[in-house]
Amino acid sequence: MDNIAIQVKNVEKVYKLYDRPSDRIIEALGFGHGRRHKEHYALKGVDLSIRQGECVGIIGTNGSGKSTILKIITGVVNPTSGSVTVNGRISALLELGAGFNMEYNGIENIYLNGTMIGFSEKEIDEKMDAILAFADIGEYVYQPVKTYSSGMFVRLAFAVAINIDPEILIVDEALSVGDVFFQAKCYHKFEEFKEMGKTIVFVSHDLSSISKYCDRVVLLNQGVKLGEGEPKKMIDIYKQVLVGQYAAPEAEGDSLLDDEELRRAAAGEKPAENKAAAGGMAENPELLEYGSKKAVITEYYITDDKGTKTSAILKGNSFTIHMKVHVQEEIRAPIFAFTIKNVRGTEITGTNTMLEKAFLEPVQAGEDRQVTFTQKMNLQGGDYLLSLGVTGYENDDFTVYHRLYDVLELTVISDKDTVGFYDMDSTVEVRRDR
């Protein structure tokens, strides 16, 4: 296919783990009987196609294989089996320090990196001013990079990566090192790259950035691809993986699930009371639900400042989120929470009873609790999604009892919108200067 930038087919990466360094030597020399290592699959049968011009995010817990697959794509690491095809010139920003000589100064490392990618000295000379302007590290560029702070280092590395005119940009979590102003500049560059039709593969734990910039998201867990699809769906599944609530396929040979199958498998059967739980308001048919069910959210709705049930709130007015929770087993200190996301799945705001120091009591089995959150609506006009949850800690382990993602739509009606997600509700005064 002509429009494929990166094609990964049935890639596996196996590492040999030894209990002692001597075991590696003994096995290599053929002494003793049997193997002295254990096999660890960093990647197991991963397939992935990335089209030209796509911005694809890869998410997963630590040790899921995110960095490994990027190293295989960029040629830093060879796969144990499977194949990788790349159509286009790659520029990669992997671990801090990858591709840099610590003894060289910044200028020398720019030439080193440019040459490794395939540029001539003349071509690097032509791009030097743009690289230095983007990095903005001043006279430090003439000092050995081993003297750089991590922030200065990532500035130079990213400046080189994005200014050597790549067709494919690979970024692995490195932006989390830079300061907020540099991160903003980098993400602005992402937008420019997308407009130019370049391909971006982006690994990050920053789910808001993944949601905002990525066209598609791939979810890895323990070396296996759990699924891929639109950012919001994959992020919701990832959150289940984080709290151990994702139901993996039972048999090793089971095929990977598509987006809809993932959602259904993760949600399970909805309790009968959810059919009428929305208090007469429209319930999201794509509702995602999971948890141990030691406590269950049985009712939820929104009221405006007059106490009327509604999903449309006037900007500037107060409103209340209601939920009723039935506790099925004793819980030492349940935490009741809500989150508001935009339609792309970015979490905008939210709170819970622990943060608000509003409820820190045990609840006995069979009891119900009515929970309300009242606040002023300062979000910009538009459509949002409300999520609800009951969580807690058991033996210091975070536990999800019941979560309802995107359970209700929330519409904010506004006759004045400012910049960003929130209205700062500014008081403006302009006076003549006498």
pLDDT greater than 80 at residue 277: no
pLDDT greater than 90 at residue 404: yes
* Per-residue pLDDT, 254: 42
Contact 404, 321 (CB under 8 A): no
* Per-residue pLDDT, 256: 43
For 170-228, write each residue's pLDDT tens digit. Answer: 988 766 666 677 777 888 888 888 888 899 998 988 787 788 889 999 999 999 999 99
Query: pLDDT category, 155, cuts 50, 70, 90?
Result: confident
CA-based torsion, 98, 99, 101, 105: positive or negative: negative
* Per-residue pLDDT, 266: 39
Mean pLDDT of 61-71: 90
Mean pLDDT of 136-161: 88
* Per-residue pLDDT, 21: 78
Q: How far is CA 375 from CA 88, 313, 421, in A?
A: 51, 11, 16
pLDDT greater than 60 at residue 106: yes
Query: Which range (141-155, 276-290, 373-387) has the least confidence?
Result: 276-290
Greater pLDDT, 293 or 40: 293
* Per-residue pLDDT, 360: 87
Contact 309, 300 (CB under 8 A): no
pLDDT greater than 70 at residue 298: yes
- Alpha carbons 251 and 102: distance in angstroms, whole number: 48
Residues above pLDDT 70, as percent of the chain: 88
* Per-residue pLDDT, 178: 62
Mean pLDDT of 293-315: 93
Cα of 236 vs its chain's centroid, Å: 10
* Distant-in-sequence, close-in-space partners of 153: CB < 8 Å, separation ≥ 6: 96, 97, 100, 145, 177
Mean pLDDT of 89-94: 82
pLDDT greater than 90 at residue 331: yes
Instruction: Measure the CA angle with vertex 338, ends 303 and 264; round to 5°.
Output: 105
CA-based torsion, 165, 5, 65, 210: positive or negative: positive
What is the enclosing helix (H) or strand (E) of 24? Answer: helix 21-29
Mean pLDDT of 331-349: 92
Greater pLDDT, 290 or 242: 290
For 230-247, write each residue's pLDDT tens digit. Answer: 988 888 888 888 877 776
Cβ of 339: how many Cβ atoms within 10 Å? 18
pLDDT greater than 80 at residue 434: no
pLDDT greater than 50 at residue 259: no
Contact 340, 401 (CB under 8 A): no
What the chain holds in terms of domains, given with CATH numbers, is 4-88+167-235 (3.40.50.300), 269-413 (2.70.50.60)
Contact 211, 344 (CB under 8 A): yes
* Per-residue pLDDT, 333: 94
* Per-residue pLDDT, 23: 72
pLDDT greater than 50 at residue 110: yes
* Per-residue pLDDT, 162: 82
For 343-377, write each residue's pLDDT tens digit. Answer: 888 889 999 999 999 988 999 999 999 999 999 99
Query: Which range (50-64, 283-297, 355-369) has the least confidence?
Result: 283-297
- Three-class SS state of 153: helix
The structure tokens listed for 97 are 């320090």
* Per-residue pLDDT, 272: 36
Residues above pLDDT 90, as percent of the chain: 45
pLDDT greater than 50 at residue 159: yes
* Per-residue pLDDT, 326: 97
Average pLDDT score over the chain: 84
Task: Write the DSSP assignment of 187-211 as a string of letters.
Answer: HHHHHHHHHTT-EEEEE-S-HHHHH
Query: pLDDT category, 2, cuts 50, 70, 90?
Result: low
371-398 burial string, b = 16+ CB within 10 Å, else e?
A: bebeeebebbeeebbbbbbbbbeeeeee
Query: Long-range pairs for 306-310 at CB < 8 Å and ≥24 separation?
Result: 309/279, 309/280, 309/281, 310/281
**Residue among 172, 135, 177 at smallest CA distance from 157:** 135
